[in-house]
Amino acid sequence: MKTIRSKWSLLTIALMSMTLVLFSSCNEDETPTPDPNVVEVAASNSNFSTLVSAVQTAGLVPTLSGTGPFTVFAPTNDAFNRFLTANGLTATQLLASDALGETLTYHVVGALVPASSVSAGKVTSVSGDPFYVSIAPNNEIWINGNTKITATDVMASNGIIHVLDNVITPPTQSIAQIAIASTTAAQPEFTQLVAALVRANLAGAFQGGFDDDLTVFAPTDAAFRNLYAALGVTSVDEIPLETLTAVLQYHVVPARAFSQDLRQGASLPTLLTGKNLTVNLSDLKINDAGLVAEALNIHATNGVIHVIDKVMLPQ
């Protein structure tokens, strides 16, 4: 019996050894499949077909297939369609644009930024232009006040993808330039605001670039006309200059605050020393002036404009 048990023991050891050798040989022969990079992850999702075509057309595939790490803020096909409609463009025109590469790299950050590391503020993109992240009271994450991140942390071998519901573009005009351009639009607006800024010699203060952060609560022309009626005057020229200057300064906050950055009951310091504005999100108001919902977050190089329906007077 001892002889039989010894033979079975030897046979078992031999079989185990052969199994280990075979298993080891299989592992040595197999080549591990590399994880897909950000371009390959996007290409595997039909919702990103327009983005992938744009990346290919712009010649960015080699770059975004590199070691990275990259964080890509990726607009879906619906986001591109929304952008094209808003700007009167076709997909062909977009792909033929000289600015295509710059537009795409504006959606890329040269670092790994998971959702857990996202915070409100200025972010420098690979294009060199900054974009601005806001976190709304409900914790939704927005970019430049008009684009929402709808999904986060899609992982790739060389980075991470966050999904957008719009295409982001850097602003090209200052607050002053936007206001002045609006005065000659098909439906003119801000004619009285611009006239007031010129009379108070403040127009130059609203010029500037990305290093200048202002939020302007801009009264409509109708709001100024209501003010004239209340004061018994006909134009800004009849308002005492000191008073006009103070009123204009009272409408400006020295920070870039998109609507998603505002919080209920917050007190916002203004350029008028010692005078603050109060946020009332429940009624969508700043002090007693109503925010015009369809005219929020007008993004400029030096800040953001929110349109209001009343001229606010400092007490």
Identify whether the C-beta of residue 167 lies closer than 8 Å to the C-beta of residue 156: no
Domains along the sequence of the chain with CATH: 38-164 (2.30.180.10), 175-308 (2.30.180.10)
> What is the C-alpha separation between 246 and 218, in angstroms, rounded?
14
**pLDDT classification of 34: cutoffs 50, 70, 90:** low
- pLDDT tens per residue across span 140-170: 999 999 999 999 999 999 999 999 999 999 9
3-state helix, strand, coil in the chain (%, to 5): 40, 20, 40
What pLDDT, in 10s, does the model give residues 71-126?
999 999 999 999 999 999 999 999 999 999 999 999 999 999 999 999 999 999 99
Please write the tens of the pLDDT for every residue from 203-221: 999 999 999 999 999 999 9
pLDDT at 294 over 80: yes
pTM of the full structure? 0.87
Distance separating alpha carbons of residues 279 and 262, to the nearest angstrom? 7
**pLDDT tens profile 166-183:** 999 999 999 999 999 999
Q: What is the structure's pLDDT at 54?
A: 97
Tally of CB atoms within 10 A around 100? 17
Average pLDDT of the residues in 295-312: 98
Q: What pLDDT band is residue 33 in, cutting at 50, 70 and 90? A: low
Q: Examine the pLDDT at 1 and tell me if it is beyond 70.
A: no
Q: What local confidence, expressed as pLDDT, does residue 31 receive?
A: 55
315 band by pLDDT with thresholds 50, 70 and 90: confident
Average pLDDT, the chain: 91
Fill in the amino acid letter for 165.
D
